[in-house]
Amino acid sequence: MSKKRRVFDIDLPDDGPAPETKTFPAGKVSNNETKRRGPMAAAITENADSVRDRGAVEAEIRAENDALAHEHVRLKRLGLITDLIALDDIVTSKLVRDRTNHGPDYELKELKSSIADIGLSNPIRVEPRDDGKYELIQGFRRLAAFKELHEENSDDGQYAMIPAAIFAQGETLETLYRRMVDENLVRKDISYAEMAKLAISYADDMETEVTDADKAVSVLFQSATYTKRSYIRTFIKVMEYLWKDLRFAEEIPRALGLAIAKRIEEVPGTVRAIQAELKDWEHRGVADELDVLRRFAGYEEEDPRAKRSEKPKPAPTSVATKAKTSFQMRRPQGQVKCVAGAGRLEITLDRDFSAIDRRKLEMAVQTLLDQLD
């Protein structure tokens, strides 16, 4: 028996002509075909996208690093980069310091106490060297205080490193000296003799372009007033002759220094006479040395009391005037307290003033009053 063939009648709707089939060149696929890519093609696409994204991120990182590097250089040039530096890595050979070391620094004890209590408020300034060490630019006393604290507390290593602002290399020697000098000009205790010595040392330094001490004053003390620079130049005349003979030059008052300079110019042989007076005087102190200078300055040739008597008497102090002024200072002999009021001046010091020679005490009082006038 043969099988009958089934026939199905299918009614197709009349939708018009069949849509045109689009063809694509080799290697091209339609948008719909993208969804039907194989695993390998999808992985290649994702990898390409990842490479592009990673390149963009790396470019952003490089740009940020460049910006940070430029900012670091800018801050370093300004001396605003601060780090902890080992004391052994700091040297003080490049600049001649404007401080003398004839005796103990009694104010250093107060600085050490402050550092021990609250730390170092103002970092020192240094310049990096090619050998990996650092040259001190500013902060000689702060460095000295840290060194003493380290010696006293070497077991814990607390003061083995000091905070330091690091300047960029390349600044001129003149600029480095100016940085040191300008910081010290605000100090009240730096003397004209010390500033004069610094000017002489700067002119003698083979690395500087200045060979004349008077011109060195113009270079180093540009921030000082004209009058102050004039006083420094006058003290240079004294220091050039008596630098090696004076042990306490930093204690010379301004008026006495000016008087000695004038006497050196006007009276031949003054320098040799002062040198002969001080020669082989091993155990002299500040007062002894100043007495010699006062004598050669001609202070004994005049009676300061007579000069004062010619001046008009000051007007009576009114009730509204400030009652008193008081202050304290450190001296080699100890802490000094001064109280000044209407008609009186008190100096308190743990010392027996009655044991001082009357003539020496009188000269000291006269000099004090002359300075006040």
Q: DSSP per residue over 213-230, as a string?
A: HHHHHHHHTTTS-HHHHH
Nearest to 162 by CA among 74, 88, 110: 88
Range of weakest confidence among 28-32, 139-143, 197-201, 204-208: 28-32
Distance between CA atoms of 51 and 135, rounded to whole angstroms? 48
Report if residue 330 sits inside a domain: yes
User: What's the one-letter identity of residue 194?
Assistant: E
Say whether pLDDT at 307 is over 60. no
Q: What's the rounded mean pLDDT across residues 266-290? A: 90
Q: Count of domains in the chain?
A: 3
- pLDDT tens-digit readout, 228-267: 899 999 999 999 999 899 999 988 999 999 999 999 999 9
Please check whether residue 366 is in contact with residue 255, taking contact to mean a CB–CB distance below 8 angstroms: no
Which CATH number fits the domain that encloses residue 152?
A: 3.90.1530.10
Report if residue 300 sits inside a domain: no
Per-residue confidence (pLDDT) for residue 17, from 0 to 100: 61
Report if residue 13 sits inside a domain: no
For residue 173, is it left (φ>0), alpha (ψ between -120 and 50) or beta?
alpha
Per-residue confidence (pLDDT) for residue 207, from 0 to 100: 80
Per-residue confidence (pLDDT) for residue 336, from 0 to 100: 78
Please say which residue of 128, 150, 171 terminates a domain: 171
Report if residue 259 sits inside a domain: no
Say whether pLDDT at 317 is over 60. no
Its sign, for the CA torsion 114, 116, 119, 120, is positive
Per-residue confidence (pLDDT) for residue 117, from 0 to 100: 83
Distance between CA atoms of 332 and 250, rounded to whole angstroms? 14
Element (H, E) at 53: helix 39-77
Residues of the chain above pLDDT 90, percent? 21
Residues 82 and 166 in one domain: yes
- pLDDT tens-digit readout, 88-131: 999 887 776 555 554 555 567 778 888 888 888 788 888 888 89
Per-residue confidence (pLDDT) for residue 272, from 0 to 100: 93
Residues 91 and 63 in one domain: no
Q: What's the rounded mean pLDDT across residues 78-84? A: 74
Greatest CA separation found in the chain? Answer: 166
Nearest to 167 by CA among 38, 288, 80, 64: 80
Distance between CA atoms of 175 and 219, rounded to whole angstroms? 9
Token code pair at residue 264: 């050196």
Q: DSSP per residue over 255-316, as a string?
A: HHHHHHHHHHHHSTTHHHHHHHHHTT-TT--HHHHHHHHHHHTTGGGS-HHHHHHTSPPPPP
Give the gyration radius of the chain's Cα atoms.
Answer: 41
Q: What's the rounded mean pLDDT across residues 136-141? A: 83
- pLDDT tens-digit readout, 9-60: 555 555 556 555 555 555 455 555 555 556 776 667 677 777 777 777 787 8
Residues 70 and 93 in one domain: no
Residues 52 and 92 in one domain: no
Say whether pLDDT at 322 is over 50. no
Please say which residue of 77, 93, 117 terminates a domain: 77
Range of weakest confidence among 81-85, 264-268, 296-300: 296-300
Report if residue 293 sits inside a domain: no
**How, if at all, do strands 90-91 and 344-348 pair?**
unpaired
Report if residue 160 sits inside a domain: yes
Q: Which residues form the domain of 344?
A: 323-372
Distance between CA atoms of 98 and 96, rounded to whole angstroms? 7
Distance between CA atoms of 87 and 153, rounded to whole angstroms? 14
Distance between CA atoms of 337 and 328, rounded to whole angstroms? 4
pLDDT, greater one: 185 or 134: 134
Distance between CA atoms of 140 and 95, rounded to whole angstroms? 11
Residues 87 and 161 in one domain: yes
pLDDT confidence tier of residue 305, bands split at 50, 70 and 90:
very low
Token code pair at residue 8: 């199905």
Helices (H) and strands (E) in the chain, counts: 13, 8
Assign 113 to helix, strand or coil.
Answer: helix
Give CB contacts under 8 A, 24+ apart, made by 216-225.
Answer: 219/174, 219/177, 219/178, 220/177, 220/178, 220/181, 221/181, 221/185, 221/195, 222/178, 223/181, 223/182, 223/185, 224/185
Residues 73 and 134 in one domain: no
Count other Cβ atoms within 10 Å, centred on residue 313: 6
pLDDT, greater one: 7 or 243: 243
Q: Is the pTM of this model over 0.85?
A: no
Residues 167 and 91 in one domain: yes
Say whether pLDDT at 328 is over 60. yes
Residue-averaged pLDDT of the chain = 76
Per-residue confidence (pLDDT) for residue 58, from 0 to 100: 80
Residues 90 and 165 in one domain: yes
pLDDT, greater one: 281 or 316: 281
